Structure 1
Amino acid sequence: MGAARARTSPFLHNTPIMKSERIDKIVGVPVLFKCEHLQKTGSFKVRGALNSAILAKEQGAKGVIAHSSGNHGQALAWSAQKIGIPCTIVVPKNAPQSKIDGMKEYNADLVFCDASVISRETVCAEQAEKLQYYFVNPYDCASMINGHASIALEILEQAGENIDSIFLSVGGGGFASSVAYLVGKLRPDIEVFLVEPSKKQLSNLLENGVPCPMDTLDTMADGVRVAHVGTLCEPILKEFCTGKIIGVTEDEIKEGLKLVWTRMKQRIEPSAALAFAGVLYHKPKHVKNPLVILCGGNVDVDYVI
Structure 2
Amino acid sequence: MTTEISVDEMRAAHKRTAPFIHNTPIMTSEKIDEKVGAHVLFKCEHLQKTGSFEARGALNSAILAKEQNAKGVIAHSSGNHGQALAWSALKIGLPCTIVVPRNAPVSKIDGMKEYGANITLCEPTMSSRESVCAELAEKLESFYVDPHNCVSMINGHASVVFEVLEQVGNEIDSIFLSVGGGGFAASVAFLIGNIRPDVEGEYRIYLVEPEQKQLSKLLEEGVQCDVETLNTMADGVRVAHVGSLCEPILKKYCTKTVVSVKEEEIKEALKLIWTRMKQRIEPTAALAFAGVLYHKPAHIKRPLVILCGGNVDTNYVIN
Q: TM class, shorter-chain normalised?
A: over 0.9
Q: State the shift of 1:293 in Å.
A: 0.2
Matched, 1:205 2:214: no
- What is the aligned-residue RMSD (CA, Å)? 0.6
Question: CA offsets per residue over residues 79-123 of structure 1, 9 Å max, x none?
Answer: 000000100000000000000000000000000000000110011
Give the C-alpha shift of residue 126 in structure 1: 1.0
Partner of 1:60: 69
Q: Give, as a single letter, the amino acid of the residue that structure 2 aligns with 1:289.
A: R
Q: Deviations over 1:228-256 (max 9, x none)?
A: 00000000000000110000000000000
Q: How many residues align structurally?
A: 305
Per-residue CA deviations over 1:234-279 (Å, capped at 9, x if unaligned) read 0000000011000000000000000000000000000000000000
Write out per-residue CA displacement over residues 59-78 of structure 1, whole angstroms, 9 at most, x where no aligned residue. 00000000000000000000
**Residue 103 of structure 1: which of 112, 118, 121 is its match?**
112
Are 2:246 and 1:237 aligned?
A: no
Look up the match of 2:303. 290
Change (3 A) 1:188 1:257: farther
SS at the partner of 2:159?
helix
Farther-moved stretch of structure 1 (122-131 vs 234-243) = 122-131
TM-score, reference length from structure 2: 0.95
2:167 aligns to what? 158
* 1:128-207 superposed matches below 5 A: 128-189=137-198, 190-207=203-220
Q: Identity over aligned residues, as a percent?
A: 73
> Match of 1:302?
315
**Which letter maps to 2:47?**
L
Report the 3-state secondary structure (helix = DSSP H, G, I; strand = E; otherwise coil) of the residue aligned with 2:158: helix
- Choose which of 12, 21, 24 in structure 2 pairs with 1:3: 12
Alignment partner for residue 37 of structure 2, among 25, 28, 43?
Answer: 28
Runs of 4+ in structure 1 off by over 4 angstroms are none
* Match among 89, 104, 114 for residue 80 of structure 1: 89
Is structure 2 residue 275 aligned with structure 1 residue 266?
Answer: no
Does 1:43 pair with 2:52?
Answer: yes
Q: Counterpart of 2:62 in structure 1: which amino acid? A: A
Q: Does 1:251 align with 2:260?
A: no
How far is 1:188 from its partner?
Answer: 4.0
Tell me the equivalent position of 2:134. 125
The one-letter amino acid paired with 1:124 is C
**How much does 1:184 deviate?**
1.3
Partner SS state of residue 122, structure 1: helix
Looking at structure 2, the residues matched to 104 and 214 of structure 1 have their Cα atoms a distance apart, in angstroms, of 30
State the distance in 2 between where 1:188 and 1:292 align.
21
Equivalent AA in structure 2 for residue 252 of structure 1: E
User: Quick one: distance in 1 between partners of 2:317 and 2:305?
Assistant: 23
Specify the SS of the correspondent of 1:210.
coil
Distance 2:197 2:265 in 1: 29
Match of 1:216 among 217, 229, 234: 229
